[in-house]
Amino acid sequence: MPYNQSRARARDRGNVLGRLEFLSLHQPLRNSSTDNKQGASRRGKFHQNQQTEHQQEPGEGAKERKEAPRLPEEDCMQLNPSFKGIAMNSLLAIDIHLSKRLGVCVHTSSSWGSVRSVFTLLALTGHGITWICGTLVCLTRSNTLAGQEVLVNLLLALILDILTVAGVQKLVKRKGPWEMTPGFLDYVAMDVYSFPAAHASRAAMVSKFLLSHLVLAVPLRILLVVWAFLVGLSRVLLGRHHVTDMACGFALGLLHFSLVETVWLSSNACQTLISIGTLSWSPFP
């Protein structure tokens, strides 16, 4: 018996490593390189999934942006604009603000609404139809060759002014500072848009023309210049044009005068045009 007990104790001591807390000692060591490869493959798959998700998100965002309604260019903000763009936008903003502030006769309920009819009548004195009709009446009553020469060239200058301004307005298509419907005479004279101001162009051209070809006293010359300025200003006060429209109209009117002076028709050419107009011209003398 004592012998068997001693052998059992020795066997138990030999089986100490078989206990649960020592089982990990019997397991072989894992290969570190294999673990590194498996971990790297897992990390690679994880990163690939993340990249795929990031690639899908911009695609979905692009679809949403395509489906979103496109705003007008006037409502969009331009990031990092150039100095020229900033200057132009600033000048346009100042022009619109100043033009709206000067529109004191837009409606009868405006601050200067009580004198709106006065400025309307003043603007009518610079209308193209008014000047063409007046020039034709004076041409039928003129008996001198010099007077007829001046009036025919004035008539051609008026027609040139109306056609040029109408073409530029049709090309630019700028609307006035206030939402206003053009009148019947405006449609007849093709003065529908805002830029350039037709009344200012016509007033500048006519005043320069009369100052160059008529002998007038100094008070009348000053009055003629003031009239031209007030005609252009009246359209701004009535809310029809911007300030820059008026300024460009004055410049265009002076350009028209220079062009007419360059291609001035002689007295014989004017008499030929008058004969054609009155249906009394004959190609054979």
Q: Where in the sequence numbering do the catalytic residues fall?
A: 199, 241
Sign, CA dihedral 82-88-90-92, equals: negative
How many whole angstroms separate alpha carbon 194 and alpha carbon 171?
A: 11
Sign, CA dihedral 232-133-259-172, equals: positive
How many whole angstroms separate alpha carbon 144 and alpha carbon 197?
A: 34
Tokens of 154: 């004035």
Region label for 184, one of left (φ > 0), alpha (ψ between -120 and 50) or beta (otherwise): alpha
Instruction: State the DSSP H helix or E strand holding residue 27, giving kind and residue range, or none if neither.
Output: none
205 Cβ contact list (under 8 Å, min separation 6):
157, 158, 161, 253, 254, 256, 257, 260
Instruction: For residue 34, give the amino acid letter.
Output: T
Rounded to 5°, the CA angle 222-226-228 comes to: 120
Q: Are 204 and 126 a contacting pair, CB within 8 Å?
A: no
Maximal C-alpha separation, the chain: 168
Name the DSSP class of 25.
G
Q: Are 205 and 254 a contacting pair, CB within 8 Å?
A: yes
